[in-house]
Structures are given as structure tokens and as C-alpha cells.
A and B are shown apart, each in its own frame.
Chain A
Amino acid sequence: MIALEKRPQPSRLWRAATPLLAVALTMLAGGVMFAALGADPVEAIRVIFWDPLFDPDFAAYSRPQLLVKAGPLILIAIGLAIGFRSGVWNIGAEGQYIMGAICGAGAALALYPAETRAILPLAVLAGALGGWAWGMIPALLKVRFGTNEILVSLMLVYVAESILASVSSGLLQNPEGMGFPGSRNLAQWDAAANRELIAGTGMHWGVLTAFVAVIAAYVLMSRHILGFQLRLSGEAPRAARFAGVVPGRVVVICFAISGALAGMAGFFEVAGPAGQISIDFGSFYGFTAIIVAFLGRLHPVGILLAGLLMALTYIGGELAQLMLGLPAAAIQLFQGMLLFFLLATDVFVNYRLRLGRREAA
């Protein structure tokens, strides 16, 4: 008989090992799934994890994509993780990401076709404000009326998607676009474009911002009293109140940070890799970032690594669709498995397995 036994102390070894174990188990189970779909599992895993970085034919294209995809994931996940550690569950980063893109692009396009260097920073700020404002809705509803922030923030994603559809064929539609939905292409407008900073690396302003956010979040959470108070609220809400932390303030701060970061990520995306506001701008970065946050153990450095790994599965997944004809859903399932196995193996941080007979009564 197998029994789970609670450990007297959480295991540090397992805390570090579970992400690696989860990746390994995902490869295994994913391999089985790919085999069932008729693909060679070893080849599929290679195409997903190895080819994007090292294949002579694809690497030149896909290597820069790693940072392009990881940038928004990391930026959003950093904000979410601060909330998750504080016990504030912002599930609607996708909506804040979309609203950030709309507000940032809208602010820039209002000034079109001016050519001043002030436009890009202004638009980044507008993007951050857009995401912040969208995040304030669930935050203030929770503080004022005690609504559930998980539901409200999630439902606001669908509202944001409707707004996106509306503006891309209305308010922000390109007047010179011959009636096609979608805004002007920001990437082709020097003043607002989010350019690649170092050619051939995929490094753009958003990726740089993500790296800065990693460092800032690390300092905040481990060195600053505000980070301590946020962690305290997540660990023991009553103890936080005893220490003078106002619960409502924690909710507002967490949504402000995660909303603003998601909004910025949205603008960087629309002004760079995506180029324009369009109906299909939403990319699920906001949802995938939740996986990234947990895969990175809600720790900034972990999130940096997890973001890169998740980006790799994105790129490798596209490659696998192309090369092996695997369906897109299989790739999403593959990413879902990663979170599933991580949460499953997490049990071993606090519990250990005991094999053997159940003791006689």
C-alpha cells in the first residue's frame, strides 16, 4: 500500500526538483500523446525542444523568437506572481493585456503621423494605464463589495475581447486600410515602433522591460517592507492585519502592478511583433503567463527561466505543427500537462511517499 506522509518541514530539494521533474514527466506523457497521434514521439520532442535553437535551417528565424515570445510572458507573469503570493488572484491578465494594447496604440495613433521621440514612451505609459485601469475594476469591486476577483477579472477578459473586436473595425480602424479591419501598422511608423534593439536577437523594449521587472520584483519581494507585507497577506491574512496591513490596499496594489505590467506587455506586442490592433490580436499570453508564474515557483528568477521554457514550447509547437502536422490543440494540451504535472509533483514538497503495508490496527 502506498501512503502519503506529511513532512515535518517542507523539502528544499523537492522545491527545486519539482519543475525539472514536471518537465520530464510532460515530455514522457506528451510523447505518449504524440505517438497516439501518429507522430514519432522522440522526433516530436526534439522538434519542440531542440530544433528551434539548434536546427541549422530554423534556428536563425526561431532563436530571436524565443525572446519575443518570452518577453510578454515574463512581464505578465512577474505581475501575476506578486499577486498570487499575496493571495490576490488576478486571472484576467489577458484582458488587461488587450486593454493595454488598445490604450497604448490609441494614444499613439491619436498623434499620427507626428514624428517625435516622445510618442513611444507616452504610448507605453498609456498602455500601462490601460492595463491598470482594467485591473482596477475587479480590485475595487472586491474591496467595495467583496466580489470574487477571480470571476470578475476572468469575465472582463471577454469584455476586453469584445472591445478589441469593436475598435479594430471602428475607432482605431486604419482609414487607409481599404475597409479591412485593423489599425494602422505601428511597427512601420518610426516614432511608435517597438524595434528590435540588437539585430538578430529578438531583444526589444518589452523584453528589456521584462528583465528590469524581474530584478525590481526580486528586490521588492525580498528586501522591501511592502513586499514583506504582501507576502504576509498571502501567508497569513490575519497576521497581516495584526501587523497593520490593510487588506483592501493589498488587493489594489497587486492589481495595479499586475494590470500595469500586462498593459505594457500588450502595447509592446502591438507596436512590435504584432504591428497592429486587429480582431485576432489576443494571443493567450495572459493565460499562459499564469502557468509561467507557477512553473517559476512565483519567484522572479524562476519566472524568467519558466518564461523562456514556455516560449520554447510555443515556438517548438509551431514548428511541430509545420513539420509533423500535429494539431495546434495537441500543443496546448502539452503546455497544460506542464502545469498539471507541476501541481501534481508539488505534493512532494510537503509530503513524502511511504511504501509498505499499512500498519496493523
Chain B
Amino acid sequence: MTRQAEQVLSLEGLTKAYPGVLACDDISFSIGRGEIHALLGENGAGKSTLVKMIYGLVAPDSGRMTLEGRPFAPPEPRAARAAGVAMVFQHFSLFDALSVAENIALGMEEAPPPRRLAARIREVSELYGLPLDPARTVGTLSAGERQRVEIVRCLLQEPRLLIMDEPTSVLTPQEVEILFETLRRLAQDGTAILYISHKLEEIRALCDSATILRRGQVVATCTPAETTAREMAEMMVGASFAAVERAPRATGEVVLEARGLSAPAPGAFGTPLRDISFSLRAGEVLGLGGVAGNGQDELLAALAGERPSPRGMLFLDGQDIGRLGPQTRRAQGLATAPEERLGHAAAPEMSLTENGLLTAAQSRGLLRRGFIDWPGARRFAEAVISRFDVRTPGPQAAARALSGGNLQKFVIGREIAQRPRVLAVNQPTWGVDAAAAAAIRQALLDMAAQGAAILVISQDLDELFEVADRFGALVGGRLSEIRPMAELSLERVGLMMGGAHDMEVAHVG
């Protein structure tokens, strides 16, 4: 066989411009049969645009693609699927009320009769170690199992190329191991896999080769197993950056305490909070891990005061704050930063000055009898921008004009600049580039060193290992026992996050 035939997909000079940005600039690389190829880059590096071109969602401005030696230019995803390209998206597109088999049938061009389909699903899922019961209702599945549904849906098409977009962000470490086993087995059978992630250790463990994108261009290729995570990170960022340093610090009095905090689920797809108890001391960082959708948003909303809690559940300095609104809690020194930057932590169409005012109006004395001190608000926004190195033309820029990482720096910086005594953050570095993430983590640790109490809710375990003193896991709206981080291994953390329980359920099918 010629070398050409060994290549499943090859890209030559793919270019796509959007107004004001060159999303992909002359990108060329190829993926061979049975190769697991990592596509690595920060947010906005062009990964998703590139994948959209391969999957037929976006047409390239110029450049050529070949799939198995034939020219490949899918006008729409259906054509890409027909040509043998399958994709598992980061966000699932499943109907909760339908069964696994029904969901899979919906995604197929010509679904076989239900009984044959169920048999095929069992067959494929057993073959690749993805136990799945076709009759189960999707609403009852865990995130890991839902991902299996998506993967099995792709495998039924017998794809030549499988694209995985950030597949592990919703998985426990144990589930990640199972996924990797499956992907390796697929690769052995000759399927080419394009694996998109920014989790460097995973890429080192799994991938045969890696293409690194920065600002729309291929800046490097490497063999992940022979490259350190730090080297890859620096290639991604294009510069070296300081590692996070932890200063030794003393913990003080308990400032924030939850005693059996419970709340019903907000709406049909929320998670109820069940009997959550923890205490947070001054100078301490408490990390709460967990797979997405296990009560993180609800817990932060309860702490922020967006949803009031019954008496006797939440205490700040021993005083019951359950019934207090967000502004009063902030005035008493409890600041929060939710996960969703645009639309929740910040108003997209409003300027940074206005977004600064959003939480700082009272604590920074920006109101006089209800009238806004706009020059003062602008000075506050400017101070946050310069202290946290937010890249923006100025405080008049609309929040939505900032990149995700820069807005995250502004949103976290806005809270830190108000010097709260307690800061609760959810996913503080989600979608933020490595250098900015390091800066945010450092700022959180510095705050703790100065005596603030910090609660970090995160799905990124590496982050929690880096900053947290103690660790607890959120599972189904409950909080596990809280343990000192130094005593915990990654496996132990995974078990706390409910991985063990999850696998037992999976094998029933």
C-alpha cells in the first residue's frame, strides 16, 4: 500500500476568515489509519473552526481536504457522515425522555427496525467495552453513559474518522480510563481519531501525534509521549509563564458554614441540593470537584443569594444569611463568581464600566442616594483591567467583545478587587488559556494568603490539586466527606466523584 492510501484524512492549506479574524490560516496536516491525533490549542486558536470544516458545517475559503485519497468537500454534515466522518460533540444532543435506542435511531439516516437496532447497539457496545442498555431512558443516564450513547451512535456508522471534541470534560477519571480503552481499541481496528482537548496529560497518555494551533496557524507538531506537558503548554501559549506558587499560610476562624443546606431543583433539568455541610476557614481554599450537572450551579446560586435558603442552613461569621439577598451578602463580605461569564456574571452588551458596577456598586461606594458615580465606576473598571491584565481597548468596550479568558479575568478580578472576606467561584478558569488560568489561580491563592476564605468549585481536577487545601466531591447534589487534598490520589478523588458507582450501573446493561 502506498503512503497516500495509509492516510485517512489530509488537509492542505485550509483557510477560513471571519470578519476581523483569520480563524484558520493555511492549516495542513494529515491523520493516518489507526492514528490517534491530538488537536491542541487555546480557546480561539481555531480548533473548532477547523473541525467544523471537516464535518461540513463551515465551508473553507481556500485549501483542500482529501479523505482516503479522494477529494473531500462536504457541503453539509450529512455528506461528511456519508463519507465516513463521525463526530462526538462536547455538548450532547440527546432527548431525555426517549430511550437509548430511540435516540440513536433519530440520528441515523436510515434506521433499521427497532429490534435489529437494539441488537446492533448491544453488539457494538460490547465489542468496544461500552456497556449500554438500549431500552434505558436517556434521562436516567449519567454524563459518562450519555457520552457512550453518542459514541455508539457514531460507531454504528462504521466511521473512517472519528472526531472527539473535549470528550473528557464531563467524565470522572475512571470513566476517562474506560473511554481511552475504547478509543485505543478503535484505533487498533484502523479507525483514525482526531482528539480535541486542552488537557495535556490526557493527550500524553492517549495520542500518537499532536498538531498544535495558535491564532489559526499550525505552530508545532510533536509526539506527545516524548514531550512534557509544560513544553506543550508553552507551544500553545507561545511563551513561557510562571507556575502557580503556594505560600504557606495559617488558617483562622470559620467564616462560612453550610449546615445541611438543601434546596429543591430549579426547573426540570436542575439538580436539587441535598444536605450539604461544610465549613470554610479564613486563609483556606476548599475545592469542590464533581462532574458537570451535579449541583455546582445550584450551590453557587445558593451561596450568592440568587435563591434564598431556609433559616439555619447558611452562616457567615455565625450569622444566618440564608434569607439575605445578593447585595446584602456582598456588603457583608461574601462575593461570588458564577460559571457562565456572558449573561450571568456579566451582561454581554454592557460596557466593562457597567459590568464593574454590577457587583461593586455598594462595596466601592459608587452610589450617592441611588445616583451612580460614573467616573468612579470607570476608575474601578480601569483598576481591574490594569491589575488583572485584561486585554481590551478600554472600560467602554462591551463585555461580549472580550475573549473568554479576558472576560473571565475581569469577572474574577472584579470580585477580588473588592477584597471580600469570602470568595466562592464556579469554574474560575473554564475555557481560559493556560497563562490566564495560572494568573487567576495565583490571584486566588494570594487572596487566601492574605486571610480570605476561598471556595473553588471546579470540574478541572488538576486545578483543584493545584489550589485546594481540602477537597470534597459533589455527586447528585450531595457533598461527599471533605478530606485534606494532600492525602488524596487521583483514583481516590475519582471514586469520591461517584465513578465506582457509575460503573456498577453501567455493567447491568
Contacts and interface: CB of A to CB of B under 8 A. Distances in A.
Contacts of A6: 19
Contacts of A9: 398, 401
A240 B326 CA distance: 10
Interface stretch (B207-215, B244-252, B346-354, B477-485): B346-354
Interface stretch (B96-104, B198-206, B234-242, B356-364): B356-364
Nearest to B393: A9
A359 interface: yes
A235 B349 contact: yes
A111 B170 CA distance: 72
Nearest to A361: B59
A239 B414 CA distance: 14
Interface string A229-242: 00110011011111
A243 to B, nearest CB: 5
B343 A225 contact: no
Nearest to A226: B370
Given A6-B19, A361-B73, A236 B354 contact: no
B19 A243 contact: no
Interface in B338-382: 338, 340, 343-350, 354, 357-359, 361, 367, 370-372, 374
A356 interface: no
Contacts, number: 81
A361 B60 contact: yes
Contacts of A228: 354, 357, 361, 372
B327 interface: yes
A56 interface: no
Nearest to B329: A244
A235 B358 contact: no
A239 B358 contact: yes
Contact of B370 (A224, A239, A246): A224
A223 B371 contact: yes
A35 to B, nearest CB: 40
A324 B60 CA distance: 58
Interface in B284-298: none
A7 interface: yes
Residue of A9, A242, A361 with most chain B CB atoms under a 10 A cut-off: A242
A225 to B, nearest CB: 5
Contact of A238 (B305, B343, B372): B343
A336 B316 CA distance: 57
B371 A225 contact: yes
A244 B328 CA distance: 9
Given A7-B19, A243-B326, A224 B61 contact: no
Contacts of A241: 306, 326
B435 to A, nearest CB: 24
A299 B371 CA distance: 19
B344 A359 contact: no
Nearest to A241: B306
Nearest to B300: A242
Contact of A232 (B330, B347, B372): B347
Most chain B CB within 10 A, of A7, A8, A238, A240, is at A238
A239 B73 contact: no
Nearest to B325: A244
Contacts of B328: 244
Interface string B54-72: 0000011110000000000
B361 A8 contact: no
Nearest to B326: A244
Residue from B325, B326, B347, B361 whose CB has the most chain A CB atoms within 10 Å: B347
A359 B61 contact: yes
B304 interface: yes
B113 interface: no
B347 A236 contact: yes
A239 B372 contact: no
Interface residues of A, number: 26
Contacts of B367: 225
A8 B19 CA distance: 7
Contacts of A246: 325
B411 to A, nearest CB: 10
A260 to B, nearest CB: 20
Contact of B326 (A10, A231, A242): A242
Contacts of B312: none
Contacts of B372: 223-225, 228
Contacts of A40: none
B264 interface: no
Interface in A1-15: 5-10
B347 A8 contact: no
Contacts of B509: none
B20 interface: yes
Contact of A361 (B75, B359, B401): B75
A258 B475 CA distance: 47
B305 A244 contact: yes
B339 to A, nearest CB: 11
A225 B358 contact: no
Contact of B338 (A7, A10, A242): A242
Interface in B304-326: 304-306, 325-326
Contacts of B75: 361
A235 B325 contact: no
Contacts of B73: 361
A298 B116 CA distance: 59
B359 to A, nearest CB: 6
B55 to A, nearest CB: 13
A8 B398 CA distance: 11
Nearest to A7: B19
Contacts of A226: 370
A8 B344 contact: no
Interface string B131-160: 000000000000000000000000000000
B287 to A, nearest CB: 22
A90 B340 CA distance: 30
- Chain B CB count within 10 A is highest, among A5, A223, A224, A243, for A243
Contacts of B306: 241-242
A238 B344 CA distance: 5
A190 B336 CA distance: 60
A8 B20 contact: yes
A360 B59 CA distance: 8
B19 A239 contact: no
B327 A244 contact: yes
Contacts of A238: 340, 343-344
Nearest to A239: B347
Contact of B401 (A5, A8, A225): A8
A242 B306 CA distance: 6
Given A359-B61, A361-B75, A5 B354 contact: no
A224 B371 contact: yes
A83 to B, nearest CB: 18
A361 B372 CA distance: 52
Nearest to B361: A225
Interface in A329-361: 359-361
Nearest to B60: A361
Interface string A1-31: 0000111111000000000000000000000
12 contacts: A8-B401, A224-B370, A225-B371, A236-B343, A236-B348, A236-B350, A238-B340, A239-B358, A241-B306, A242-B344, A246-B325, A359-B62
Given A5-B19, A359-B61, 16 more contacts: A9-B398, A10-B398, A223-B374, A224-B370, A232-B354, A235-B349, A236-B349, A238-B343, A239-B345, A242-B326, A242-B358, A243-B326, A244-B325, A244-B326, A359-B62, A361-B59
Interface of B: 19-20, 59-62, 73, 75, 304-306, 325-328, 330, 336, 338, 340, 343-350, 354, 357-359, 361, 367, 370-372, 374, 398, 401
Q: What are the 9 tightest A-B residue pairs by CB atom distance, in nearest-first order? A: A244-B326, A236-B347, A244-B327, A361-B59, A238-B344, A235-B347, A239-B347, A8-B20, A243-B358
